[in-house]
Structure 1
């Protein structure tokens, strides 16, 4: 069928890539190709192509698998072992730039029908990792272009490559993303779930391990996947960047009782704790929990990845003063036609409950 959609998802094992596989696989009416170094735990009907995007030759060899592609969801990401420090690392910037270039060099010649490239950024576009955000941060006026960032390398490359072409791009800037993944760099369900499991074993309530409060936003990864799909078919999304959130705001203190309830625990008191520092002590107990509860999740390092570091960062471990609010505007995407919203407390309940029923957490 000449008009059949063929969606290529790069970074298919990650939080966003996994959600994109799930969305397009269940939506029907399209072929889906999953690109990643490791095979995703669930393919949702997609065909997996093993690929390392830093390897230009391997990308070229895979071009035949990309033939006829109409849409690319680029959710691939390289993060340095020192996650937070790596956000300003020139090597991290170069590697992410190279990965997109390698894939597009293979994809474009193989996919003359290409119509859309969706690229993921985030609030680091507004410098959240180095300064207080302008509140609310708006697309097209709040960007911190002076701060080196792989976002700008990738965005500039796509803008130049797209000139005079039939395809277009859209940039999605989600806030804190919550969903299902394993071994990612920025997935909060595994580290918080493991922390909760350790406390439950001790007969303790779910103590609050974070630092001083900050008003923030989050986005359900399934909602984000639907925004990505929308951007691929909406004329209003052609060559535009959009913030994406659930539509509300939260503080960790305020959602903590809901998280405890979803994990069938009582909320405890404030007990500041660095999960990144503590987790080596949890490796052996986690293996014992996996055996006892017949979990499908792997060992701690593979399950959580760098996300213990991300949990400390997101929850502001060690910070004693309230943080500046981290708020972006979603007026642009709403006015362009994507108006979905979700209650952030319901989102946390959804994913912690899902992790338990899926036997990822006890």
Structure 2
């Protein structure tokens, strides 16, 4: 007996999570994948691309309302106001836009006779108020009551629960920690921004100095690990209508992994030099163009098109401007492991992988070029 073909709609397919999910689902036997994004997509083998503005409800209804092949949705899109990454997380208009975008995808698919079976959405550490509380209890657990603050997570979750209660499909909510991947131009992927910062210093003959603030015990999550978890949740009965924290399986401190990052980029370590990457990197457009030309990179010449708001996100995650000591931010991943998803990755190996991937794609110069 052959397994019926399943089709995953990956929404936000140019982002750090969506890109990883599109590649992963496209590689799975018995699956087809469709990547949805506002920007143009070059889909991997086995995937299709759909360029769509999620804020345009009429366009979404026209593109999705007549489809009879979409069985699963992985919703990894997020709207961030330009220049307002961290502050915008508490902006009411931004929250409502994110709710409307999810509605514009789900409502055309959730109709009589639809083959839709499962929807996965993303939350994260902000569900526990890590962006507003000076300290959260350790470790954060999914069974806790909602943290009492306004958040588009709650708006999207309430919408899903209300629709699912009268439908035949299920949902899963993933709460990943700090996400790392290779997507260029993502607002919440620090990897390209760190790589650019490193090469700007290299060209000045400077070592790779840690730019952040005080140390904090934290957790990371590899974007490809999120993709694996989404594929598991798509088919596991244990994931139905459940919420799961998700992280690599270990903890890290930025200062402790900085030597690994320097080695992956082929640079010597320097003494810490606290500074805001979000303020300094956007001013380096011409210096970045010289690097692109000198090393004949395939990276965008437009610096901000390459790093998005990743430099500002790096400032937040590296505790720029904060005073120590800082309490740890840790989320328990026991629940998802007990439910059946046990994959993990060493965080140091993750950093080496992603910088290596950008070098292989000629988006950054190689470690050998750095050492030459």
TM range (shorter): over 0.9
Q: Note the 1:1-362 alignment, pairs <5 A.
A: 3-63=4-64, 66-81=67-82, 82-109=84-111, 112-131=114-133, 132-141=135-144, 143-144=146-147, 146-298=148-300, 299-362=302-365
Residue 369 of structure 2 aligns with which residue?
none
The answer for unaligned runs of 5 or more in structure 2 is 366-372
Aligned residues: 361
2:115 aligned counterpart, secondary structure: coil
Q: Aligned-pair distance for 1:222?
A: 0.6
Distance in 2 of aligned mates of 1:124 and 1:111: 36
CA drift at 1:280: 2.9
Task: Say if 2:216 and 2:328, in contact at 8 Å, map to a contact too.
Answer: yes
Q: Judging changes above 3 Å, is the alpha-carbon distance between structure 1 residues 164 and 263 closer, same or farther for their aligned structure 2 residues?
A: same
Residues 1:142 and 1:134: Cα distance change in structure 2 (over 3 Å)? farther
Distance 2:41 2:191 in 1: 18
SS in 2 for 1:287: helix
The answer as to whether partners of 2:68 and 2:115 remain within 8 angstroms in 1 is no
Does 101-110 or 316-325 show the bigger shift? Answer: 101-110
Shift of 1:65: 6.7
Q: What is the CA–CA distance in structure 1 between the aligned matches of 2:317 and 2:235, rounded to whole Å?
A: 33
Does the Cα contact within 8 Å between 1:250 and 1:344 map onto a contact in 2?
A: yes
- Tell me, what secondary structure is at the counterpart of 2:235? coil
Name the SS for the 2:50 alignment partner: strand
Mapped to 2, the partners of 1:206 and 1:99 lie a distance apart of 40
Offset at residue 288 of structure 1 (A): 1.3
Partner Cα separation in structure 1 for residue 263 and residue 187 of structure 2: 26
The alpha-carbon distance between structure 1 residues 28 and 214, as it changes in their structure 2 partners (threshold 3 A), is: same
Contact conserved, 2:3 with 2:30, CA < 8 A, in 1?
no
The DSSP-based 3-state class of the residue aligned with 2:142 is coil
Residue 2 of structure 1 deviates from its aligned partner by 7.8
SS in 1 for 2:221: strand
Aligned-pair distance for 1:77? Answer: 0.6
Provide closer, same or farther for how the CA distance between residues 28 and 297 of structure 1 changes in structure 2, counting only shifts above 3 A: farther
Structure 2 Cα separation of the partners of residues 317 and 44 of structure 1: 40
Quote the offset at 1:142 in angstroms. Answer: 5.5
Q: Distance in 2 between matches of 1:66 and 1:14?
A: 24
Separation of aligned partners in 2, 1:260 and 1:280: 22
Conserved? CA contact 2:35–2:43, under 8 Å: no
CA contact (8 A) 1:182 1:302 kept: yes
State the shift of 1:38 in Å: 1.0
Distance 1:23 1:111, change over 3 A: farther
In the TM superposition, what is the alpha-carbon distance from 1:109 to its structure 2 partner? Answer: 2.8
TM-superposed CA distance for 1:136, in Å, is 0.2
- 1:258 deviates by 0.3
TM-align CA RMSD? 1.4
Contact 1:211 1:315 in 2 (8 A): yes
Q: Give how far 1:40 is off.
A: 2.4
Deviation of 1:311 after TM superposition, in Å, equals: 0.7
